Structure 1
C-alpha cells in the first residue's frame, strides 16, 4: 500500500511539474513592443504654451501645436514640426511676435532655426519676412543668407539676399539689397 501511495505521489508531482513547465511562456515578444528606435523622439507634447521667466519677469511665451524631444541624441534638439508662435517681451513690457511654419532648437549651441514663412513684428512696428532665419540666443543675434523683406516704421522698405542683426534690429548688416527710403525735404 505504501508503494502504491508512493507511485501516486510521484505521478502527481510529475504531472504538476509538466503542467507548470508547459504553462510558462516567454514575454519577450510583448516586451519588444516597448523598445524605442534611436530615430524616435523621447518625448512628444501637444498644444504647448510655455512661459519663460528671468528673475521673476516674464520674458517670452512660446506656443506650438507639437514639440518633439530629441535631447537624448549626442547633439540634442527640440523640433517644432507644425511651427511656432513666440512672443518676446522686453524689459519695458513691449512685445515682439515671431512666427514660422517649422522650427528646430539646438541645445548645445542655443541656436534656433526657423523655416518657412518666418514673420517678425517687433514692438516698434518693424516687420520682417524671410524664408529662413536663425536666432543665436547666446549673443542675441539673428541672421539669414536667404532673401528677406523688411518694412520699417517710417515707411522704408528693404529687400535683400541676407542680413545679420542684433535681436532689437538697432544694428543691421544687409547684403545685396534694394529698397525704398523715404526722406523728408
Structure 2
C-alpha cells in the first residue's frame, strides 16, 4: 500500500512537470533588434595608425582617433567619424599633410572621401582649404568638385570650384579660377 502511494505521487508530479514543460512558450527576438545588429560595425578601433604602401614603398600614413569597420557590407567601407590626418609621402620622401573632420574609405574602389574643414599642406608649402576632398589610392590622385582656396609659397592666392591633382601635388588642374598672382618685374 505504501508503494502504491509513492507511485501515485510520483506519477502526479511527473504529469504536472510535463504539463508545465509543454505549456511554456518561447519568446522570439524582435526583428528590429536583429537589424540593429546587422547595421553595427564588425569592429571598432581607437587611436589607429594605418600605413599604405606601393611596391614596398611607404606612400601614406593615416592616423585617426576612431575607426568603424563595415567591411562586412556588400560595398564594404571604413568610417572615421572623428576625422583623419593623412600624410602623403612622395618618391623623394617629402610629406604633404591632409586633415579633415570626417572620412570614409571604400575598400572595393580604393577611394577615401574626406569632409569638413579639409586642410592640405603640401611638401612645397602650398596650402589648400576645401570642404571635401577625394583621394583615389589606386591611381594616386586627389580631387574635389567643391570650392577651395589655395595659397602658394610665392604669395599667390587662388579660389576655384574644384581641382584634381596627383597625390604629390606636382600636377594641379584647377577649374573656374579667381585669384591674385604675384609677378616680379
Please indicate the TM-score interval, normalised by the length of the shorter structure: 0.7 to 0.9
Quote the Cα distance in structure 2 between the aligned partners of 1:104 and 1:21. 57
Question: What do the CA deviations read for 1:40-88 (whole angstroms, capped 9, x no partner)?
Answer: 3222222222233455544332221221222222222111111111122
Is this contact kept in 1: 2:89–2:168, CA < 8 A?
A: no
Question: What do the CA deviations read for 1:141-182 (whole angstroms, capped 9, x no partner)?
Answer: 111111101122222221111111111222221111112222
Shift of 1:29: 5.7
Report the counterpart of residue 144 of structure 1 in structure 2. Answer: 144
Report the counterpart of residue 79 of structure 1 in structure 2. Answer: 79
Q: Runs of 5+ in structure 2 lacking a partner?
A: none
Quote the Cα distance in structure 1 between the aligned partners of 2:30 and 2:4. 43
The more displaced of 54-63 and 98-107 is: 54-63
Q: State how many pairs are aligned.
A: 183
- TM-score when normalising by structure 2: 0.81
Matches within 5 A, 1:2-151: 4-9=2-7, 11-12=9-10, 14-16=12-14, 18-19=16-17, 22=20, 35=34, 37=36, 38-54=38-54, 57-151=57-151
Q: Runs of 5+ in structure 1 lacking a partner?
A: none
Query: How much is the aligned-residue C-alpha RMSD, in angstroms?
Result: 2.9
User: 3-state SS of the aligned residue for 2:10?
Assistant: helix
